[in-house]
Chain A
């Protein structure tokens, strides 16, 4: 009776495709394990099939191919933190990875698992959305297809994958000249904390004109899933980086929070805490700005 759980250990994508062929509601994919093992216990899951993706070496890589960065689904957050490619091209993703869980969790948890788990407060997801990544998936037939991250993550622990589909890769564009990115979060303590609020920002600043040409602002922990905030982005695009822009940015963020969690008891706190993220984002992206000079710090 205790042996009702099957365990598959595909060593390649081909084998994985075969394993997925019979996948059903009781098929569970495991990579780092940091989410699934808790789920097995909490949901009292004693039978079914666990497919372990960790043995698929070909899913563990970070590579740059011309203007795209490909991250294998098995890549851990620790590996992402140390990736020169990501440090150079996707600082927000590195910043998010650094703030996920503890050292042990980052050593185990993977990018593929984090997306599939689709937790509302997940730290990597806002950064991935801001980066505009595509998620590559494979089905039981061994066919590959791409979807926007936004389509893959439904939120509140749900993803849009069918039972016979698996995330194999995350594809991020190299953002190019003038782009910068930031990730920040507010939790209930300094380290090892679930985000009460998190935010990723990607901006393109034209160094010659000083104007922001592109802005993506993603907020997490404000609903079932992280989302891009149009009303905040509009405040940034086409603007010069000034003290007053920071103020407008902050105001827009507060407005977004008022809309997103109207009536929630967490609103008064989050509309204040978002100012911290706003300030951190600005100083991180645009250097120590003038508006700080008024303080006696």
Chain B
């Protein structure tokens, strides 16, 4: 590894920034195709019921309406949109259109019309006769109902029973987390167009093009080769566009109409009718010694996956695994029960279970510290994992786990001890500090298949073409890959072309932008394929330069022999000469399989101000410390963290898709679902621990998901410490604070 890096470690703007600031970049909603029709979904207005009658006559009579589709005239293939590779076995319970609605927001029909206004208007004219069925929204109720109970996941290391039977100090907490909307500014949207060969092309802001291809093919009964999925410009996802929601519907409409169709959701539809962060109710018991050593821990999570299965068990397992990778706990048990409810569907959401498990464990850690009279940061330092520790449940090794560094460095920079011991104010406005830690992963190794193929070619004019199925979600994936390739080949960034996923032309990638695998796994593949191209290039160049490969120097787009520095070739000239002399192409296609899945670690420190009369909380200051290994692009890393903090503050304080007893949803638009806006956003300082990770490109690890895992519990801990209360139900609304102060 080079010590002085030229491209890696530099803050370079996202690859399409100029098109974005000029408004030129076309997102799927901006696409126009000749003869394009417009689809609009009809979503259920009742939470549970059978559809007895659908009357589309009035809607069909509306001028401009082309056709209306319901369960009566569409495929009834069962599928699970969570399935992302062919060999995955999973419960299938979703259909394009249902006759048995299971939540307010379930898909009943789609209108196809000549323009979207007509489509929207026609949807309102469809008359549905429901036979309403009993509604279950409470997971505690669901757990006892056969139709609603899905199953249990259980992991144990050592023996919890033994530890708890002997322990004298046990601290127990119950914590609730709500359903959350991803709130990407772009609502869900898809465009599909049929081809003349019985094929269909789907443009979608998605996270996994090969998953889109798979789900569309499965639902429509088509061969994979007849479906082309193209990743469209992404207006934000955060997991919300991970599972295909509109894609199979839109592809079906396009095929059925034999015309291009655009299908777009409005904000309310995106909030209720796509995916949400899975809601949880957790209980945790921690046995500790007087000196603050965790002796054992027993966790139970009740996981509400909503109306469809999707990733209910996978997200539960993800939560489980994290519980064993942050603190050294020999005896620990995780039991997760997964249930259906008649509420919006759970799915992937930035952190994938980590924010939920960490809210539970980190609020509890503070209560342990309170009980022992310890500094909560010191309590964590006593128990955090050390670099190169093993996973107690035989998961992948933790790697260069720098959790302790995150806390110790953070304490210094935040001035934690002094701020924490500052005398409490007794006036209306009260301040407090809190902190929390978190861990997350780097891909699927140890859980699922994790490999990606990339091909890289050096062009005749000194350019580089990196062909791969990557997806830039706005996080800078394309530029990250370019920086890695540029570093290996010492070529200018602008000379590298790195298009995004298109199943027709991209080499296969098994898992897409999921599981915090992109920098760690895909980035490693980019590095390896570039290294192999470099080796091939040097091998050929050495023959032309008549020297040994070791004597070939590649620098800033030029190549020469160290024995004859006066004769320098541009990369392009050398490629051309290699072509004419050896009839060979300097390109490599390489499949990289991830060999590891180390942990990433974070510690967040926050200061809050609470108005004890209104219960309004203002987050004043955030310090986010991250064990990143190596930041390929520090500007992107900082941007990821700052955005993740915004999301986490909302999770802690205001965001919630509320569902009442009857399954009716409130918080279904931005005027009622408050994401944090600019005046409420604190300054966020980002401190990176860059100690390198063996299998990461240039030592890099993930950041996109870990960055939102520690902030919510840190805020809750700060509020609880400031007010000497113990709120454990998110979001911590003003009403909850006032109630807690009253009950104090």
Q: Is this pair of chains taken from one and the same complex?
A: yes
Known: A2-B117, A269-B615. A296 touches B671 (CB 8 A): no
Chain A nearest CB, measured from B196 CB (Å) = 32
Contact of B613 with A188 in the complex, beta carbons under 8 Å = no
* A-chain residues with CB within 8 Å of residue B611 when the two chains form the complex: 276
A255 contacts chain B at the CB level, 8 A cutoff:
no
Q: How far is the CA of A192 from the CA of B671 in the complex (A)?
A: 9
Interface size on A, residues (CB 8 A): 23
B425 contacts chain A at the CB level, 8 A cutoff:
yes
Contact of B733 with A188 in the complex, beta carbons under 8 Å = yes
Closest B residue, CB atoms, query A196: B734
Known: A188-B734, A189-B677. A273 touches B615 (CB 8 A): yes
Closest A residue, CB atoms, query B669: A38
Contact of A268 with B677 in the complex, beta carbons under 8 Å = no
A44 contacts chain B at the CB level, 8 A cutoff:
yes
Known: A44-B124, A276-B614. A188 touches B427 (CB 8 A): no
* A-chain residues with CB within 8 Å of residue B426 when the two chains form the complex: 295-296
Closest B residue, CB atoms, query A197: B614
Q: How far is the CA of A120 from the CA of B532 in the complex (A)?
A: 68
Contact of A295 with B738 in the complex, beta carbons under 8 Å = no
Contact of A1 with B427 in the complex, beta carbons under 8 Å = no
Q: How far is the CA of A269 from the CA of B733 in the complex (A)?
A: 11
Closest A residue, CB atoms, query B266: A41
Contact of B733 with A275 in the complex, beta carbons under 8 Å = no
Closest B residue, CB atoms, query A187: B616
Query: Considering the complex, which residues of chain B in the window 418-452 have a beta carbon less than 8 Å from any beta carbon of chain A?
Result: 423, 425-429
Out of B124, B428, B742, which one reaches A276, CB within 8 Å? B428
Chain A nearest CB, measured from B735 CB (Å) = 5
Query: Considering the complex, which residues of chain A in the window 175-195 have a beta carbon less than 8 Å from any beta carbon of chain B?
Result: 186, 188-194
* B-chain residues with CB within 8 Å of residue A276 when the two chains form the complex: 428, 611, 613-614
Helix, strand, loop or mixed for chain A's interface? loop
Out of B62, B117, B654, which one reaches A188, CB within 8 Å? B654
* B-chain residues with CB within 8 Å of residue A296 when the two chains form the complex: 423, 425-427
Contact of A279 with B679 in the complex, beta carbons under 8 Å = no
Chain B nearest CB, measured from A264 CB (Å) = 12
Contact of A189 with B64 in the complex, beta carbons under 8 Å = no
* B-chain residues with CB within 8 Å of residue A1 when the two chains form the complex: 62-64
Known: A276-B428, A297-B425. A189 touches B738 (CB 8 A): no
Q: How far is the CA of A279 from the CA of B428 in the complex (A)?
A: 10
Per-residue CB contact flags for chain A residues 44-55 toward chain B (1 = under 8 Å, else 0) read: 101000000000
Contact of A268 with B742 in the complex, beta carbons under 8 Å = yes
Chain B nearest CB, measured from A269 CB (Å) = 5
* A-chain residues with CB within 8 Å of residue B734 when the two chains form the complex: 186, 188, 269, 273
Out of B427, B674, B742, which one reaches A189, CB within 8 Å? B674
Closest A residue, CB atoms, query B739: A268
Q: How far is the CA of A189 from the CA of B429 in the complex (A)?
A: 16
Known: A188-B674, A276-B428, A296-B426. A46 touches B738 (CB 8 A): no
A272 contacts chain B at the CB level, 8 A cutoff:
yes
Per-residue CB contact flags for chain B residues 718-744 toward chain A (1 = under 8 Å, else 0) read: 000000000000000111001100100
Contact of B735 with A189 in the complex, beta carbons under 8 Å = no
Q: How far is the CA of A46 from the CA of B64 in the complex (A)?
A: 15
Query: Considering the complex, which residues of chain A in the window 274-297 have a beta carbon less than 8 Å from any beta carbon of chain B?
Result: 275-276, 279, 292, 295-297
* A-chain residues with CB within 8 Å of residue B429 when the two chains form the complex: 297
Closest A residue, CB atoms, query B675: A189
Contact of A273 with B613 in the complex, beta carbons under 8 Å = yes
Interface centre among B64, B429, B676, B735, by most chain A C-beta atoms within 10 angstroms, is: B735
B159 contacts chain A at the CB level, 8 A cutoff:
no
Chain A nearest CB, measured from B655 CB (Å) = 11
Q: How far is the CA of A180 from the CA of B314 in the complex (A)?
A: 61
Chain A nearest CB, measured from B120 CB (Å) = 8
Q: How far is the CA of A46 from the CA of B62 in the complex (A)?
A: 12
Q: How far is the CA of A297 from the CA of B618 in the complex (A)?
A: 17
Contact of A273 with B733 in the complex, beta carbons under 8 Å = no
Q: How many A-B residue pairs have CB under 8 A?
A: 73
Q: How far is the CA of A191 from the CA of B613 in the complex (A)?
A: 17
Contact of B738 with A272 in the complex, beta carbons under 8 Å = yes
Chain B nearest CB, measured from A136 CB (Å) = 31
Interface centre among A190, A191, A192, A272, by most chain B C-beta atoms within 10 angstroms, is: A272
Q: How far is the CA of A190 from the CA of B63 in the complex (A)?
A: 46
Out of B64, B118, B124, B677, which one reaches A191, CB within 8 Å? B677
* A-chain residues with CB within 8 Å of residue B739 when the two chains form the complex: 268-269
Contact of A192 with B677 in the complex, beta carbons under 8 Å = yes
B680 contacts chain A at the CB level, 8 A cutoff:
yes
B121 contacts chain A at the CB level, 8 A cutoff:
yes
Closest A residue, CB atoms, query B117: A2
Contact of B738 with A269 in the complex, beta carbons under 8 Å = yes
* B-chain residues with CB within 8 Å of residue A275 when the two chains form the complex: 613
Q: How far is the CA of A295 from the CA of B427 in the complex (A)?
A: 5
Q: How far is the CA of A273 from the CA of B611 in the complex (A)?
A: 10
Interface centre among B428, B613, B618, by most chain A C-beta atoms within 10 angstroms, is: B613
* B-chain residues with CB within 8 Å of residue A272 when the two chains form the complex: 613-615, 738, 742
Chain A nearest CB, measured from B187 CB (Å) = 15
Q: How far is the CA of A46 from the CA of B654 in the complex (A)?
A: 35
Query: Considering the complex, which residues of chain B in the window 664-708 have a beta carbon less than 8 Å from any beta carbon of chain A?
Result: 671, 674, 676-677, 679-680
* B-chain residues with CB within 8 Å of residue A269 when the two chains form the complex: 615, 734-735, 738-739
Out of B427, B654, B733, which one reaches A297, CB within 8 Å? B427
Chain B nearest CB, measured from A37 CB (Å) = 13
Closest A residue, CB atoms, query B123: A44
Q: How far is the CA of A251 from the CA of B123 in the complex (A)?
A: 52
Known: A192-B677, A268-B739. A295 touches B614 (CB 8 A): no
* A-chain residues with CB within 8 Å of residue B613 when the two chains form the complex: 272-273, 275-276, 279
Q: How far is the CA of A276 from the CA of B121 in the complex (A)?
A: 45
Known: A268-B739, A269-B735, A273-B734. A189 touches B124 (CB 8 A): no
Contact of B427 with A190 in the complex, beta carbons under 8 Å = no
Chain A nearest CB, measured from B123 CB (Å) = 10
Q: How far is the CA of A199 from the CA of B735 in the complex (A)?
A: 19
Q: How far is the CA of A22 from the CA of B717 in the complex (A)?
A: 62
* B-chain residues with CB within 8 Å of residue A194 when the two chains form the complex: 671
Q: How far is the CA of A1 from the CA of B616 in the complex (A)?
A: 49
* B-chain residues with CB within 8 Å of residue A46 when the two chains form the complex: 121
Q: How far is the CA of A273 from the CA of B614 in the complex (A)?
A: 5
Contact of A191 with B674 in the complex, beta carbons under 8 Å = no
* B-chain residues with CB within 8 Å of residue A268 when the two chains form the complex: 735, 738-739, 742
Closest A residue, CB atoms, query B63: A1
Query: Considering the complex, which residues of chain B in the window 507-539 have a beta carbon less than 8 Å from any beta carbon of chain A?
Result: none
Contact of A190 with B679 in the complex, beta carbons under 8 Å = yes
Q: How far is the CA of A190 from the CA of B425 in the complex (A)?
A: 22
Closest B residue, CB atoms, query A297: B427
Q: How far is the CA of A46 from the CA of B123 in the complex (A)?
A: 13
Closest B residue, CB atoms, query A191: B679
Interface centre among B124, B611, B674, by most chain A C-beta atoms within 10 angstroms, is: B674
Chain B nearest CB, measured from A279 CB (Å) = 7
Interface centre among B62, B616, B654, by most chain A C-beta atoms within 10 angstroms, is: B616
Q: How far is the CA of A297 from the CA of B612 in the complex (A)?
A: 13
* B-chain residues with CB within 8 Å of residue A193 when the two chains form the complex: 674
Q: How far is the CA of A44 from the CA of B64 in the complex (A)?
A: 17
Chain A nearest CB, measured from B220 CB (Å) = 32
Interface centre among B64, B429, B677, by most chain A C-beta atoms within 10 angstroms, is: B677
* A-chain residues with CB within 8 Å of residue B677 when the two chains form the complex: 189, 191-192
Contact of B616 with A189 in the complex, beta carbons under 8 Å = yes
Give 7 closest A-B pairs by Cβ, nearest first: A295-B427, A276-B613, A297-B427, A191-B679, A269-B735, A276-B614, A1-B63
Interface residues of B (CB under 8 A from A): 62-64, 117-118, 121, 124, 423, 425-429, 611, 613-616, 618, 654, 671, 674, 676-677, 679-680, 733-735, 738-739, 742
Subset of 18 A-B contacts with CB under 8 Å = A2-B64, A44-B121, A188-B734, A189-B616, A189-B677, A190-B679, A192-B679, A268-B738, A268-B742, A269-B738, A269-B739, A272-B615, A276-B611, A279-B613, A295-B425, A296-B425, A296-B426, A297-B427
Beyond known contacts A276-B611, A297-B429: 7 more, CB 8 A cutoff: A2-B64, A188-B654, A191-B679, A192-B677, A269-B734, A273-B613, A275-B613
